[in-house]
C-alpha cells in the first residue's frame, strides 16, 4: 500500500508519526529495543529504498503470550521479500518487548496509545511500503507457504480486490480442523476467483478472515481502510465493501491457523452492538445504486445473516431490546429459521434459554448450540 492518503482517507483514525520520539532528527540512528541480541526497528532506516513484495501488518494489544508465535511463522515463510509492521496499540502485558527481541531487520515496531484494532491496522497500512498488504492477528499464525500462495494469486489474478487462503481452526492444543467452506468453492487443487463472495460466505465458513487475507494498498486506500467506529465486525465490513466492487481470489494452499483457544479475543466480549458495520455499508451501497444486479439477492441474505448474528450477541449482552430491533429490520428468505429462533429468545426471559437449548438438543439428538449459529458462518470475529 503506497503512500498514505492522509487522515481523512482512514475515517478519522487520528494517526501520528511513526517514531515515538518526535523530537529526534530524521538523520539520527534508529533506536533499538534490545532484548538479548535482537531489535525491532521503530521507524524506517534512512535511505531505505528497496520496496518489499508484501507488507505484513500485525495489530498488537495484550497478546504477549502469542506474538512470538505469530512473528516466528512469518519469518519462516518460503518467500523472504517482505516487511513486518507490528502496531502496538497500547499493550500493557509486555508484548512490545517480545517484538523487540526479534533480530530480523525486516521487523518494525510502531507504538501508539490504545485506539482500537481498526486504528492499529490503519496505522500499519499507512506505514506499509509494499504494494500488497497481508494481515495477521497477533494470536494466529501462518503455514510456511502462505505468502507464496498469496503472491501467486496476485500474479494470476491482478484484477482481484483481495486474496485469501483456506485456514485451520485450532480449537485446543490437540484439535485442529479445516472448516467447511461453501460447496460452490471447488476442492483442491483449485484456486481462482470466487463466483460470488456473499453466497459463499452464507453457505459455508467465510473464505476471507483477518489473518489469511492480503489486499493491494491502493484498494485499501480507495476503501478508506478499516472503520474505526466499529469494535466488532470491522474486518467483515471491509471485505464486504471490497467484494461489492472487485472479485475475490481464493486458494486452499498456504493455509493460516486461526486459534480459537487464544485468550483476550474480541468475540469473547459481551457488549451490545447497535448495528453490524457492514449492514450500514450495504444499505448505503444499495441506496447509491452501487450493487451489481447479480449480487443483490445474495447480498441481502448476507446482510440478514449479519443482523441475526448481532441480535444473538445482543441477547448474550443482556439487551433483548436491541436484538428485537435488529431482527425487526431483518428480511430473509433462506435464514428464516434462525431469525424465528432468535426472535423467540428475544421475547422470552433469558433464564429459560439454557433449558430451551437442552430440550432442543434432546429432541433432535444433536448438541445444543446457540440459535443463529448458521447465520454466524458469515464471519470469524477476533
List, run by run, the mean pLDDT of 10-residue segments along the chain (382 residues).
Answer: 34 32 29 34 52 97 96 97 97 95 94 97 98 97 98 98 96 86 94 97 94 98 97 96 98 94 72 95 97 96 96 93 95 93 89 65 50 46 48
User: pTM higher than 0.85 for the full model?
Assistant: no
The reported pLDDT for the residue numbered 369 is 45
Q: Tell me what pLDDT residue 5 has.
A: 33
Residue whose C-alpha cell is 501462518? 142
The fold of 7-268 is: Spore Coat Polysaccharide Biosynthesis Protein SpsA; Chain A (3.90.550)
- Identify any residues that bridge with 308 across adjacent strands, giving them in sequence order: none
What pLDDT does 80 receive? 95
Q: Return the SS3 of 193.
A: strand
pLDDT at site 63 = 95
Three-state DSSP class for 192? strand
Specify the domain boundaries for CATH 3.90.550.10 within the chain: 7-268
- Cβ atoms of residues 142 and 72 within 8 Å: no
User: What end-to-end distance do the CA atoms of the chain give, in Å?
Assistant: 24
Q: CA 169, 362, 353 angle in degrees (round to 5)?
A: 75
83 neighbors 53 (Cβ within 8 angstroms) = no
Amino acid at each position: 500500500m503506497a503512500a498514505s492518503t492522509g487522515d481523512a482517507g482512514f475515517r478519522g483514525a487520528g494517526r501520528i508519526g511513526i517514531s515515538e520520539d518526535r523530537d529526534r532528527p530524521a538523520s539520527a540512528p534508529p533506536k533499538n529495543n534490545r532484548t538479548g541480541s535482537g531489535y525491532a526497528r521503530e521507524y524506517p532506516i534512512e535511505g531505505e529504498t528497496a520496496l518489499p513484495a508484501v507488507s505484513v501488518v500485525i495489530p498488537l494489544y495484550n497478546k504477549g503470550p502469542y506474538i512470538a508465535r505469530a512473528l516466528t511463522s512469518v519469518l519462516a515463510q518460503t518467500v523472504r521479500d517482505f516487511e513486518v509492521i507490528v502496531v502496538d496499540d497500547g499493550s500493557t502485558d509486555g508484548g512490545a518487548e517480545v517484538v523487540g527481541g526479534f533480530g530480523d531487520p525486516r521487523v518494525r515496531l510502531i507504538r501508539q496509545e490504545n485506539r482500537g484494532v481498526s486504528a492499529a491496522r490503519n496505522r500499519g497500512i499507512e506505514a506499509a511500503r509494499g504494494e500488497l498488504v497481508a494481515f495477521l492477528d497477533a494470536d494466529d499464525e501462518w503455514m510456511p507457504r502462505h505468502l507464496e500462495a498469496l503472491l501467486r494469486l496476485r500474479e494470476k489474478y491482478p484484477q482481484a480486490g483481495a486474496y485469501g487462503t483456506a485456514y485451520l481452526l485450532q480449537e485446543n492444543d490437540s484439535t485442529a480442523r479445516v472448516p467447511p467452506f461453501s460447496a460452490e468453492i471447488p476442492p483442491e487443487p483449485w484456486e481462482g476467483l470466487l463466483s460470488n463472495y456473499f453466497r459463499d460466505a452464507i453457505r459455508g465458513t467465510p473464505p476471507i478472515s483477518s489473518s489469511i487475507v492480503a489486499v493491494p494498498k491502493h484498494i485499501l486506500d480507495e476503501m478508506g481502510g478499516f472503520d474505526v467506529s466499529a469494535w466488532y465486525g470491522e474486518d467483515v465490513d471491509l471485505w464486504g465493501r471490497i467484494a461489492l466492487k472487485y472479485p475475490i481470489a481464493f486458494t486452499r494452499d498456504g493455509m493460516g491457523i486461526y486459534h480459537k483457544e487464544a485468550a483476550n479475543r474480541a468475540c469473547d466480549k459481551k457488549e451490545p452492538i447497535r448495528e453490524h458495520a457492514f449492514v450500514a455499508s450495504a444499505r448505503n451501497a444499495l441506496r447509491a445504486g452501487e450493487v451489481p444486479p447479480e449480487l443483490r439477492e445474495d447480498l441481502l441474505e448476507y446482510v440478514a445473516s449479519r443482523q441475526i448474528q448481532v441480535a444473538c450477541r445482543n441477547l448474550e449482552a443482556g439487551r433483548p431490546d436491541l436484538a428485537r430491533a435488529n431482527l425487526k429490520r431483518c428480511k430473509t428468505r433462506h435464514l428464516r429459521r434462525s431469525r424465528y429462533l432468535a426472535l423467540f429468545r428475544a421475547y422470552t426471559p433469558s433464564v429459560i434459554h439454557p433449558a430451551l437449548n437442552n430440550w432442543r438438543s434432546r429432541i433432535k439428538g444433536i448438541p445444543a448450540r446457540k440459535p443463529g449459529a448458521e447465520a454466524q458462518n458469515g464471519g470469524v470475529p477476533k
